[in-house]
């Protein structure tokens, strides 16, 4: 991907190496230990936390490079985010609307957002109430090593997918889905979540189409993205972790579905081609 040509976004918040303050900086393991002690002794966990005090083990697994050092990963993320801003600003403007870009938060280990306390293990995510995308850069290394999906376009797709959730929020789609989900049983609600995720994949593709128009894509980039979409399909993830796939518990769609919808966005470049809710769609 020729991302060096892209405008850099300034909507980046760098929280790497900063404690998420989940429990006064004691970290997840510390918190679990405290909860166990509290359970065994019948002590209020908040009291125990006060006794432990703050800042005993702030984890800095992936700190930001020292100032002055070139930070390639951050530069890459800023370039991709900047390009999504340009693409979505144009798409929204064509419809007479104004695009309000999200903020992208870089973090390591764990982070606190309006959606609560999240460890890096959950992977990149979007939090609708604060309009922020959260990315732990170690996920990109995982995408390469664990999921066999290397390449800068694979990483860009992941960022664009989260931005896709932001677009769904701005368009009011996420709210509508949330309201419907509340009135449904678990199985139907899961199926609707899958449709929402597939739409975010398609919207990532819509960005990819615009990046293609600007000649940012190189030979093999589309395949890189499709490989990533397939690698993080629910069926594959579940087979890896439990040996079998259980379609009812899918939350993101199968590998084939994810690749289908990403390709659909990439080929059409149109938001109205991303109607994953329509009956009879893949
Ligand atoms: Zn998603």
pLDDT at 207 over 90: yes
Residue 149's Cβ-count burial label (10 Å; 0-12, 13-18, 19+) is buried
CA of 53 to the centre of ligand 1 (A): 36
- Give the separation between CA 56 and CA 262, rounded to whole angstroms: 44
CA of 7 to the centre of ligand 1 (A): 25
Cβ contacts of 212 within 8 Å, gap of 6 or more:
266
The overall average pLDDT reported for the chain is 85
CA of 90 to the centre of ligand 1 (A): 23
Please work out, in degrees rounded to the nearest 5, the angle formed at the alpha carbon of residue 102 by the alpha carbons of 9 and 229: 90
The string of pLDDT tens digits covering residues 18-48 is 887 654 445 566 666 666 666 666 666 666 5
pLDDT at 130 over 60: yes
What are the distances in angstroms from CA 52 to CA 87, 119, 164, 188? Answer: 49, 21, 41, 44
pLDDT at 13 over 90: yes
The string of pLDDT tens digits covering residues 49-91 is 555 544 333 444 556 677 777 899 999 999 999 999 999 999 9
CA of 268 to the centre of ligand 1 (A): 20
What pLDDT is stored for residue 50 in this prediction? 54
pLDDT at 174 over 90: yes
Q: Which of 117, 150, 144, 148 is nearest to 221 (CA)?
A: 150
The structure tokens 């929402």 sit at: 196
The string of pLDDT tens digits covering residues 90-120 is 999 999 999 999 999 999 989 999 999 988 8
CA of 47 to the centre of ligand 1 (A): 37
CA of 165 to the centre of ligand 1 (A): 7
The string of pLDDT tens digits covering residues 137-166 is 988 888 888 888 889 999 999 999 999 999
What pLDDT is stored for residue 25 in this prediction? 46
CA of 123 to the centre of ligand 1 (A): 10
The string of pLDDT tens digits covering residues 215-268 is 999 999 999 999 888 887 777 666 666 666 666 667 788 889 999 999 999 999
CA of 51 to the centre of ligand 1 (A): 39
CA of 27 to the centre of ligand 1 (A): 26
What pLDDT is stored for residue 102 in this prediction? 98
């Amino acid at each position: 991907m020729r991302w060096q040509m892209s405008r850099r976004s300034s909507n980046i918040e760098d929280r790497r190496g900063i404690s998420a303050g989940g429990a006064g900086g004691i970290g997840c393991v510390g918190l679990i230990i405290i909860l166990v002690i509290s359970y065994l002794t019948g002590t209020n966990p908040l009291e125990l936390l006060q006794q432990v005090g703050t800042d005993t083990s702030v984890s800095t697994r992936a700190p930001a490079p020292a100032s002055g050092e070139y930070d390639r990963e951050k530069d890459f993320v800023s370039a991709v985010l900047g390009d999504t801003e340009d693409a979505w600003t144009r798409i929204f403007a064509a419809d007479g609307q104004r695009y309000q870009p999200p903020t992208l938060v870089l973090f390591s280990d764990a982070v606190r957002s309006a959606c609560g306390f999240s460890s890096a293990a959950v992977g990149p995510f979007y939090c609708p109430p604060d309009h922020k995308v959260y990315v732990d850069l170690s996920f990109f290394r995982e995408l390469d090593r664990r999921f066999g999906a290397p390449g800068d376009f694979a990483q860009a797709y992941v960022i664009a997918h989260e931005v896709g959730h932001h677009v769904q929020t701005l368009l009011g789609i996420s709210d509508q889905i949330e309201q419907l989900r509340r009135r449904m049983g678990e199985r139907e609600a899961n199926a609707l979540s899958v449709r929402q995720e597939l739409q975010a994949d398609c919207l990532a593709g819509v960005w990819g189409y615009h990046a293609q128009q600007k000649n940012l894509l190189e030979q093999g980039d589309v395949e890189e993205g499709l490989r990533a979409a397939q690698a993080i399909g629910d069926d594959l993830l579940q087979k890896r972790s439990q040996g079998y796939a259980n379609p009812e518990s899918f939350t993101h769609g199968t590998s084939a579905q994810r690749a289908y919808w990403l390709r659909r966005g990439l080929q059409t470049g149109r938001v109205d081609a991303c109607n994953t809710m329509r009956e009879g769609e893949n």
